[in-house]
Amino acid sequence: MFITFEGPEGSGKTTQIRLLAEWLQNQGRSVVTTREPGGTRIGNGVRALLLDISHTEMTPRTETLLFNAARAQIVHEVIRPALEAGQVVLCDRFFDSTLAYQGYGYGQDRAELGRIIRYATGGLTPDLTIYLDVQPEVGLARKQAGSTQEWNRLDARAVAFHKAVQKGYEELIRAEPARWSVVDGDLPAQAVHGAVVALVASRLSVGVDLWIAEVLR
């Protein structure tokens, strides 16, 4: 099963992926966690280029191509092999981020982005995409206040950009409701985890009593 997490900066994706991976492992599942951009030696090199706050001259088109170059590598090297081996893959962002950020945020042609994405992924689509819903201002404030998360070139863009990205996510969710599930990211982390586990347990046919016991213990 391929599960991706999306949401504004500072929405708590990293924490929720870690908690979900632990829960799945406790259920006897083999789990691979990864992130975009990154997750491979090549992808991590691309990540450094993309997120370096000093690269202010980078154009939206360059950004799009770099994200999808890293994506092609992680699909080939990590995600497809893990899925073929029967593992659960949890990925912090995937192609929906390109549609939201580069499409709605920058206003690039979304049909053209779709063609680039299909080439990079070979048509791979998540089985479930969990959107952690927080207001952009809240997420950015969380990230600025944190000591472990990098403040990067995209974070530094104006709030209006992040609002446009949020609107993009909302439209993507409306267009494909069967794949997306929205979780209130303003809740305490353990409550968010409980909601995430409920979603995943239902997809994996894990008994509801099992995840309730895990969350409440």
Report pLDDT digits (tens) over 82-114: 999 999 999 999 999 999 999 999 999 999 999
pTM over 0.75: yes
Chain mean pLDDT for the chain: 91
The pLDDT-based confidence of 213 (bands split at 50, 70, 90) is very low
pLDDT, position 216: 45
Overall average pLDDT of the 155-169 stretch:
88
- Superfamily in which the 2-216 domain is placed by CATH: P-loop containing nucleotide triphosphate hydrolases (3.40.50.300)
The pLDDT-based confidence of 149 (bands split at 50, 70, 90) is low
Residues 6+ apart with CB under 8 A from 74: 34, 36, 38, 39, 40, 43, 91
pLDDT, position 140: 78
Share of the chain above pLDDT 90, in %: 77
Residues 6+ apart with CB under 8 A from 20: 3, 90, 193, 196, 197, 200
pLDDT, position 138: 86
- Cβ(168)–Cβ(98) below 8 Å: no
* Number of Cβ within a 10 Å radius of residue 10: 23
